Each structure stands twice: as structure tokens, then as C-alpha cells.
Structure 1
Amino acid sequence: MLRIYKRIRQTLTHSLLAIAASSPVVLAQGLGNSPYSALGIGELYNEGNVTNMGMGGIGISNASPFYLNMQNPALLARRTRFTVFEVGLMGQSKSLSQNLNGGLQNQRDFGGNLGYLALAVPANTRWNLSLSLKPYTYVDYSTRQYRPIAGTIYEAEYNYTGRGGLNKASLANGVRITKNIYVGVEAAFVFGNITNASDSRVLINDNTGAGVQDTRVSRLNRANYSDIIWKLGGAWRPKLSEKWTLNVGATYDPQTRVNAQETDVYQQTSLGGTIISSSDTLRINAGGRATLPQRTNFGISLEKNNTFLVGLDVGFQQWSQFRTSTGQPGNLTNGVSIATGMEITPKATSTRYRDLITYRLGFQYNRLPYLVEGVQIKDINASVGLSLPLGAYLVNHVTLSVVGGQRGVLTGTQIKEQYVRMALGFSLNDWWFRKQVVD
């Protein structure tokens, strides 16, 4: 027992230190500049872990005894007696292009973040629970526009920036009801803040050397969010034969109203930073509730004795239901996601190391909730990945996944984003709770 308590204390201590060290990263950074993150509550992070990323993000119906499933809480109950601790790190290189003012504008960007920290433990032979901390959304954009002022010879400059995001601390439970039926529920505390700033000025004195006399009108909007959201999950795993198993799963995130406090401030300054007028505070910590839309996901997969798996996931989210904390629509439309993927382990019972390496391949098609000139933005990507077993009995794994894709096209004012997303994950398994037997 003393050995168990020491192990628990060491793991929790290391986890808390990792959370403390990485919290500023989680709160402050995303995956690089994304103009689309200006809409709604920002860009959503993928709910899966690094393992799922390597096979198109599928994970609604499929799970493994060696990895933690964070997409369907019901499949936590598929885990064995092992306790698992997982860490994921993510980075992204991105190229942005847009046809603007008769020419092609380009920008390259890079961003990185902590993907998740998660711990899952067995409560008994039918019930598993997990704790996790991960970023939920991120806002990271900076744009500048110039527009002529009608009826004058002057031009106006507009700057828009946004930073922040929401984080998600979750407690999930998965229970095996019968031999093949699983149910689960996840309660998550969502918290964080998003700051959007904009300013404008008329370009009058730039050619006279007296630009510091120009007046800049600025607006700062800051919203703080904190509330509990829910997810329900279910799975069915009938045996088709001695070797083959069919997996069917579904999850449902109900529409939720999240508590928010919003502050809006206007101010006039010179370009040199001199305050021309005192701040005009329209709202300060004004209470409200933002509406997050419902989401449903379905998955089906075919599995052969932990050596081969192929699956398909489909997801729907009604972003047209989104409302800000003041009840305003977010100019979003409903989103659809279709993903397919596979993984192969050459021989799971082999004693040769190369037979235990797992290889993954995936493809994903998304209709994003963003509209540009009435056209819905699409995201298409492909992924590869592999897991290397480590440690005693080779039950621990280090996983690498790479996703490459594109969203948007160079039509009208659309922004084309071409990206390569890299992720590194660690899955550490150990048998904590075992009875000591005296022979």
C-alpha cells in the first residue's frame, strides 16, 4: 500500500508541476495567426489525443487498452486494469495567402502549445474515470486594412487584433453496462478570457512628417468565460467472430449557456500614445450568457484483435445557434466533419520490437462554420502517425503524428491556409492497484 501511495503522490506532484509550468502557454498561445479565430469563441482544438490525430482524428467508436480516449467518455470503460498518464504537445507551421488590392499577399507563421494532460484510473472492473486539462479554443489574429473614405481624398487605416482562448478541465466516467454496451458522461469546467481590440485613424499627416498629431480611435473588448459543460457518450462492441469486432459509438454535447462577463472601452489617443480623451467605458464586467451550440458525433469501426482497425467518424455542430454574451449572432453557419482512418500493428503478440510498432493513416474533410462572401470554408487534410512501445513489458508508448492540409481557396477575399501540424504524445501505463498475495 505504501508503494501505491508513493506512486500516486509522485504522479500527481509531477502533473501539478507540469500544469503550473504550462498554464501560461495554455492561456496565452494558440497554433499561430488565424484570421478565422476572430469569429465566435475562436478556433476549436481537436478533442482527440495524438494517437487519434494520426488516423484522421477518429475516436468516437474505437479505443485501445494502451491509450486514453478523450472523445467518447463511454470508451474509458474499455481500458484494462492499468492506470494511464498522457501528455501531448502540438506545433503548427502555416502559410497564409490572399488576393488583395490586385496582388497576392503571403505570410508564414508558426505556433505551439500544450495539447493536453490527462490521467485515467480504474475504479473497478467495469468503471473507469479520468481527469484532464487541455485548451478548448484559441484566438490569435492580427490584420490591417486600408479603405478610401467616400467623398474625400483621404484613406483610413483599420487594425484588428485578438488574443486569448478557453481552457477545459474535465472529469469523465465510463461504465460497462453489459458485455458489449458502454455508457459515459463528461463534466467539464470551461474557463478563460478573449480580448479583441480594434482601432482606426484617417491618414492625413503621414506625408507632412507630423503623423504623431493624427488621432487614433480604439476599442477594447474583453470577455471572461467560466461555466460547466456536459458530454454524453455510448458505445456498442459486438463480436463478429473470434478475431473481428464491430465498434459503434456516439456522443452528444447539449446546447449550453455559458456565464460570461464583458467589458467594452473606447478611447482616443495620438499615434505617439498621448491620451486625447478619457476612456469611455460602455460596459464593465457586465454579466451575460453565451450560447454554445449542440454537437453530435457518430462513429463506426472494424477491429481485428488489436492488430488492425479501420473506421469512419461523422460530426455535426449547429454553429448557427451560437450567440454572444449579449445575445448577438456570431455570423456562423452549421459545421460538418467527416473523418476516416486506420491503424496497423504487425503482430501484437510478437516478442520482436518492430512487430509491436503501430502505424496510422487518416483523412479528414470539414465544412467549417465560417462564411466568406456567402461561401462556406472547407478544410481538407491527411495524416500519418506511429507509436513506439517503451519501458518494461513495452506497455508505454511515445507517439508522433503529422497532419497536412489546406482550408480556403484563393477566390474572392477568401484566405487560403496551408498547414503542417505536428504532435508528440506520451502514454505511460502502470498497474497501481493490485492485491499483494503471500505464497
Structure 2
Amino acid sequence: MLKKINLTAYLIISLLGINQTFAQKESRLYGNSPYSALGIGDIYSGSAIANEAMGGTGLSFSNGIIINTINPALLAKNRYVAFNTGLRGQYKTLSNGTLSQTDFGMNLSHITLAFPVKTKWTTAISLQPYSGVEHEARITQTITGSDQTVSQTYKGLGGLSKAAWSNGFLVGKKLYLGVETGFYFGSFRRDTTTKLLVAADDVFLRYSDRMSVGGFALKTGFAFQQKLTDKWNLNVGGTYELQSKLNGDRIRTFSTLYDSGNGPALIKKVDTLGISTGGMTLPSRYALGISLESPYKWVFSAEYSRQDWTKYLTFDGRTDKNLTKSERIAFGVEYLPKYTSTKYFNQVFYRAGFQQIKTPYLVNGTQITDNSFSLGLSTPLAYRSVSYIDLALAVGNRGVSGAGLVKENYIKISLGFSLMDTRWFLKPKID
């Protein structure tokens, strides 16, 4: 057991050292995206990597090896101490029909630790990104009445992270109930920089907007398992996230900089335009799922979720006309050849999935849609091991080219570790 504890500690330290933590720089998870300028940015799924390979499904099923971070009720299936973490990255091509560029981002995706409290009660703590903002756009215009030009750069960075404490309970033999209490925290930084040419020097006028917010979250979940035959179960599950109010501070500043060839430098002290307190409101969300399961053999799943972002309120307490109702449908399949086999590849979980997301982004009257196909597998660390290496690959696209819109073609890559120790919390016996 000592070796396993050392391995877990080593993995945590190594992963934390690869990049800045998502709590400091959430947006590096998936890189630059112009759509992250809207609302609170790109909203992440919050699913484990194994679930991500199945189109992000996992509301109604769990094998007790992977920690289910989608539905807290299914934590009750984890009867031993389990640790899960991983990396997520994305390579993408962005195009507006005329111009294109590529981008890549990767970061630590989540940290989750689960352990049983009693036979029918399992608890877990987790830390993961919830949203990310990272975008940069440049516009060059001619100054009215002259032949000189001025360039403007719009840049955003930041996002929200979520720390959570989850509990799952088995009620009777078929019903699972769960609750997750969480805390959102993070900051948003948006800059508008105007570049002027004065003599031989470049002068920059910069307007900066900084917000730091935090607030509590609550999610409830249920799952029900009905035996159909000796080999097949029918599962249903769902979650409901309550509306969350985030409070914080905001500061707006104006600064003048110049660049004589050695990089931008302040000309004078930064002017503070305003300091205020306020908050933002995140809308409630519900999700429902159904699955057909042959335990440790097959899983076929389908899910639907909805979140009304017209009820989102900005820091100033206003609605955002560029946000609308978001919906998601997803399908997934999992196959395990033969868990009792002595052959290594018969113990590998193979997964595939598809999901379509009508994102909350509404641009020029067009709702942005995200479609993706995914593949993945979980390979045991050793023969008959209950610890796994999780891999997932998703290929998809978001948006359309032209008409003032941007299309993103992407490849998402995820690597994770699901480590479990079956000997913790066992009482020693002396013969």
C-alpha cells in the first residue's frame, strides 16, 4: 500500500508542476476561442475522462472504479478509496472563411478523491475548472480625416474554478441519491488596447476591466437501477443544479504606455476609473439520462440536459442579449471483453460516443452548435488491477464560417489516472 501512496503523491506533484493550476489560469485548458468572450466563457463538462470518451455521458451508470463526477448519487458505487486526475488539451483551427489560425492549450483538468464513509455512503472532494476565457482579436482602422491608421486589440483571460464536496447514498437496493455542495471562484480580465503612432514611437491607450468573484453552488442527483434479466439492467439518472449567485469586486483602469523598441512602458501612473462591488447569477441546470447495462460487459447510454442562459445576470445585474438557452444530447457505448480473463487486452474498457451541444452563444442571430465524436479506453496498470490509465480523443467542430462568425475544428486529447486501493479502511485481523 505504501508504494501506491507514493505513486499517488508523485502523480499529484508531477501534474501540478507541468503548468499553472487551473485555479490561476483556467483558460489554458482549451486555448484561444473568440466565443469565450461571451458570458463566463467556455463552459467545461466536468466529467471524468472515462465518461468523456463516451460523449460525456454518465448520469445513470457507474462501474465503481471510475469516480463519477457527473452525478453525485453514483458515488455510492465506489466502495474503496479512489483517486482520479488528468490532463486535457485541445488543438484547433479557427477560420472566418477568409483567414485562419491554429492554437493549442493544455492544463490539469481535475483532481478528485473519493472514499467510503459507510457501506452505503461514499464521499468525495474535487477541484476542477468550470469555465475559461481566452480570446484575442485585432482590428485596424483608418482615422477619419487622415491617412493614418489605428489598431485596437481586444483581449480576455480568466474563468471560474469549482471546489466541491459530494456525497452519494444507496437507499435500499435500487435507489441512489446524492448531493454536491461547491464553491465557485475565479477572476476575469478584459483589456482594450488602442495603438497610435506618434513620431517614431508607438503609444498605447489601454482600458482594463478586472473582476474577481466567488459563490456557493448546490447540485442534487438520483439514479435508479432496475434488473431486466440476469445479465441486463435498465438505469435512469438525473441531476439538478440550483441557480448560483456569485459576489465580488470590480476595478476599471486606464493607462498610457509607449514603445520605443524596448517593449511597452508606462508613461504615467495608472488612472483608476472606478471600483465597485457586485455579482453575477448563473442559471439553474437539469440533466436526465438512461442506460442499458450488462455489468462489466456493455453499457449503452443516452442523455439530455438544458440550461437557460437568458436568466444569466452580468456583474452589473443585466441580462446578456448574446446568450440563449443551451441544450445538449449525447450517446455513448462502453465494452469490456472479459474481466475475468488472463489476457491483458480483455481487461481494457473500450468506449465511443457522440454529443451535440447547442451552446448558449448567440452571434448575429445564429446559435452556435458544437458537434463531436469521441473514442477512448481505460487500460489497467497491471493484470487484474483496479487502477487504470484513461485515454480519450474527441474530434469535432463548433460554429460556422462567414457572416461574421468563426468556425473551430478541434481535436481534444485527454489523459488521466484512476487509482484505487481496496485495503484502506479494512480492520486488521489477528489469527
**How much does 1:327 deviate?**
1.2
Residue identity in the other structure for 2:244: T
Query: 2:6, 2:203 → 1: CA distance?
Result: 57
> Aligned match of 1:84 in 57, 63, 82?
82
Query: 2:312, 2:7 → 1: CA distance?
Result: 39
Matched, 1:185 2:179: yes
Instruction: Specify the alignment match of 1:243 in structure 2.
Output: 231
Instruction: Specify the alignment match of 1:129 in structure 2.
Output: 123
Q: Decide whether aligned partners of structure 1 residues 125 and 11 sit closer, same or farther in structure 2, where only a CA change above 3 A counts.
A: farther
Pairwise mapping of residues 135-284 of structure 1 onto structure 2 (< 5 A)?
135-149=129-143, 153-201=147-195, 210-212=199-201, 215-272=203-260, 273=264, 275=266, 278-284=269-275
Instruction: Specify the alignment match of 2:310 in structure 1.
Output: 320
Query: 1:276, 1:50 → 2: CA distance?
Result: 48
**How much does 1:246 deviate?**
0.9
Instruction: Render the CA deviation track for 1:239-282: whole Å, top value 9, x for unaligned.
Output: 11111111111111111111121111122334544655643312
Residue identity in the other structure for 2:208: L
Structure 1 stretch 63-72 or stretch 266-275: which is displaced more? Answer: 266-275
Matched, 1:25 2:21: yes
Instruction: Specify the alignment match of 1:436 in structure 2.
Output: 428
Q: Secondary structure at the match of 2:354?
A: strand
> Aligned match of 1:94 in 92, 95, 119?
92
Q: How many residues align?
A: 423
Instruction: Render the CA deviation track for 1:120-142: whole Å, top value 9, x for unaligned.
Output: 00111100000111122111111
Query: 1:302, 1:18 → 2: CA distance?
Result: 38
Q: Decide whether aligned partners of structure 1 residues 252 and 22 sit closer, same or farther in structure 2, where only a CA change above 3 A counts.
A: farther
Maintained 8 Å contact 1:30/1:140: no
**How much does 1:55 deviate?**
0.8
Query: 2:354, 2:78 → 1: CA distance?
Result: 26
Cα root mean square deviation, aligned: 2.2
**How much does 1:94 deviate?**
0.7
Please list every run of 5 or more consecutive structure 2 residues that lacks an aligned counterpart in the other structure.
none
Query: 2:167, 2:8 → 1: CA distance?
Result: 19
Residue identity in the other structure for 1:187: T
Maintained 8 Å contact 1:118/1:131: yes
Residue identity in the other structure for 2:254: Y
Please list every run of 5 or more consecutive structure 1 residues that lacks an aligned counterpart in the other structure.
none
Instruction: Specify the alignment match of 2:293 in structure 1.
Output: 303
> Aligned match of 2:393 in 365, 387, 402?
402
Maintained 8 Å contact 2:215/2:246: yes
**How much does 1:294 deviate?**
0.8
TM-score by length of structure 1 reads 0.90
Residue identity in the other structure for 1:227: G
Instruction: Specify the alignment match of 1:120 in structure 2.
Output: 114
**How much does 1:150 deviate?**
5.5
> Aligned match of 2:355 in 336, 361, 364?
364
Maintained 8 Å contact 2:78/2:114: no
**How much does 1:395 deviate?**
1.0
Query: 1:140, 1:309 → 2: CA distance?
Result: 36
Q: Secondary structure at the match of 2:36?
A: helix
**How much does 1:57 deviate?**
0.6
Maintained 8 Å contact 2:215/2:244: no
**How much does 1:152 deviate?**
5.7
Maintained 8 Å contact 2:342/2:383: no
TM-score by length of structure 2 reads 0.92
Seq. identity, % = 37
Q: Decide whether aligned partners of structure 1 residues 407 and 173 sit closer, same or farther in structure 2, where only a CA change above 3 A counts.
A: same
Q: Decide whether aligned partners of structure 1 residues 11 and 176 sit closer, same or farther in structure 2, where only a CA change above 3 A counts.
A: farther
**How much does 1:421 deviate?**
0.5
Q: Decide whether aligned partners of structure 1 residues 238 and 334 sit closer, same or farther in structure 2, where only a CA change above 3 A counts.
A: same
Query: 1:14, 1:319 → 2: CA distance?
Result: 41
Matched, 1:58 2:57: yes
Query: 2:216, 2:3 → 1: CA distance?
Result: 31
Instruction: Render the CA deviation track for 1:51-90: whole Å, top value 9, x for unaligned.
Output: 011110101112111110000000101223x211111111
Q: Decide whether aligned partners of structure 1 residues 227 and 23 sit closer, same or farther in structure 2, where only a CA change above 3 A counts.
A: farther
Maintained 8 Å contact 1:225/1:258: yes
**How much does 1:288 deviate?**
1.0
Structure 1 stretch 290-299 or stretch 342-351: which is displaced more? Answer: 342-351
Query: 1:329, 1:148 → 2: CA distance?
Result: 33
Q: Decide whether aligned partners of structure 1 residues 185 and 327 sit closer, same or farther in structure 2, where only a CA change above 3 A counts.
A: same
Instruction: Specify the alignment match of 1:329 in structure 2.
Output: 319
Residue identity in the other structure for 1:83: V
**How much does 1:175 deviate?**
0.6
